[in-house]
Amino acid sequence: LLTALGLLGCGATGEPSQGATGSDSGPTDTAEPGVGAPGIGDPDFPLDGNGGYDVAHYALRIGYAPARRRLDGEATIQARATQALSRFNLDLHGFRVSGVSVDGAAATFSRDGDELSVTPAEPLARGAEFAVKVAYSGTPRPVRGSSNLGTYGFIPTADGAFVTAEPNGAKTWFPGNDHPADKATFDFEITVPAGVTALANGELVSRTPAPGGGTTFTWREAHPMVTYLATATMGRFTLREGRTAGGIRNLAAVDPRFSAALGELYSRSGEITDHWVTVFGPYPFSSTGGVVDDFAAGYALENQTKPMYGGFEPGESIIAHELAHQWFGNSLSIERWEDLWLNEGFATYAEWLWSEHTGGDTAAQRFKTAHARPANDPIWSYPPGDARPDDLFNESIYTRGAMTLHALRREIGDRTFFTLLKTWAAEHRHGSVTTEQFTALAERLSGKRLDPLFDAWLFQPRRPSA
Ligand code: ARG
Ligand code: ZN
């Protein structure tokens, strides 16, 4: 969630990709070994992700020295070719690449902007599983100030790093297929100086003294995850660990500057996670919690299992928002950025539901207040069903997205609406989703024709009638 909205500059740049090569749309069996497209086929972010393969697993070995801002990385990426490949790309921003191998054999490679092109010694057959290993090092450079995105990616801090990468900042700390349409499991092996804690997604597997000094933290995210939700946040942290009342593992971590917030972060995160289980269905991951770092990012991010709060003590509303994302955004992730309201509209509506649940304003009151915004309010001219790359986190995606859900709730009734939320989360658990899939499910469960409603709320550049 954005806590301050910046409006800066223009949007994404880059050449169009050479055709939309989604994960299942490679050439036919008879094709000659081809070249993987430099983009996964998202028209709004033409160079994000890549064509021709599908990643199953990332194993990331990272050494980081905060004092020198030096990262040494070795990424091993397990993937399957979705077309014959004589060459394919990875996304990587900065660093010096010292070596690339494919299935253990040295590969040649070249750099062009944020594209790392890899030519394996032998072409890969369509359907082949392969492992590509990349050794890289240097000073990580976060992405800065394009449109309303602020600074994101691997952000060095005084004692470590604040790592929040939405939408496409994973490439600032590891090479990969940096687009949400390609989900994978992750292993992290992170070595940091003594006294520094490294926090990544999923569960801590081990914490051991490193041979050369310092500590190696091994984390595993065993559930599919999109690249922008991966984190390796490092610094001095105070931790509290346990389980929620409902039995879900819970880990809260705060920078010492926020030590007074630790108890509240831990207990609120647990309470809210347990409540969302009753509303959205079973928790999709192995743990919940939250991290407060001392970097004033101006936003929070729903990093899988480890939401991050950038330099502020989160209140219950934003905790409710980031934890709702564990279902909507993380377990169910978007296939294309234009559908971002499926993340942000749902998480904002969850804030309204939390308020209603705790005796504050009802969702109906929140809807009414939002609808009373003047006719020239920017949310009315920005249809949230088509998020724009140059203004991705526009408030319309959040507020008008949430209003869309409330309008739907009134139209189909509470019973069907809450069944819909649970069915949506269950049917697409750990999958990729689109707006059309959601509207089709809403029509199926309600037995109503809903395109006038969705069209007015999601796609028209004007205020819908209340
Ligand atoms: N998904 C986040 C949230 O709404 C917002 C992330 C903003 N990212 C950015 N680069 N500014 O919780
Ligand atoms: Zn959000």
Q: What one-character DSSP code corresponds to residue 225?
A: E
Residue 20 pLDDT = 38
Cα 182 to ligand 2 centre (Å) = 20
Residue 429 pLDDT = 98
Say yes or no to pLDDT of 185 above 80.
yes
Say yes or no to pLDDT of 157 above 70.
yes
User: Which ligand has the minimum distance to the alpha carbon of residue 301?
Assistant: 1
Say yes or no to pLDDT of 294 above 80.
yes
Extract the tokens encoding 62: 């990272």
Question: What interface predicted TM-score (ipTM) does this complex get?
Answer: 0.97
- CA-derived radius of gyration, the chain: 22
Across the range 175-188, mean pLDDT stands at: 98
CB 310 within 8 A of CB 342: no
User: Which ligand has the minimum distance to the alpha carbon of residue 302?
Assistant: 1
The residue whose CA has the least distance to atom 3 of ligand 1 is: 1
| Residue of 2, 321, 396 best suited for mutating to test ligand 1, as the one with most atoms within 8 Å of CB | 2
Mean confidence (pLDDT) of the chain: 93
- Closest atom of ligand 1 to CA, residue 325: 12
Say yes or no to pLDDT of 233 above 50.
yes
Q: Please report where in the chains the tokens 């009753």 appear, as a residue.
A: 278
Cα 310 to ligand 2 centre (Å) = 13
CA distances from 188 to 60, 66, 435 (A): 5, 18, 33
Residue 464 pLDDT = 97
CB 276 within 8 A of CB 323: yes
Say yes or no to pLDDT of 29 above 90.
no
Q: Model confidence over 58-95: pLDDT tens digits?
A: 999 999 999 999 999 999 999 999 999 999 999 999 99
The residue whose CA has the least distance to atom 5 of ligand 1 is: 1
pLDDT band at 16, cuts 50/70/90? very low
Residue 266 pLDDT = 98
Across the range 138-158, mean pLDDT stands at: 91
Cα 322 to ligand 2 centre (Å) = 6
User: Which ligand has the minimum distance to the alpha carbon of residue 3?
Assistant: 1
Say yes or no to pLDDT of 349 above 70.
yes
pLDDT band at 402, cuts 50/70/90? very high
Sign of CA pseudo-dihedral 415, 459, 13, 112 = positive
Extract the tokens encoding 333: 């992730």
Instruction: Give the binding-site residues of ligand 1, using a 6 Å CB cut-off.
Output: 1-2, 149-150, 152, 166, 299-302, 322, 344, 393
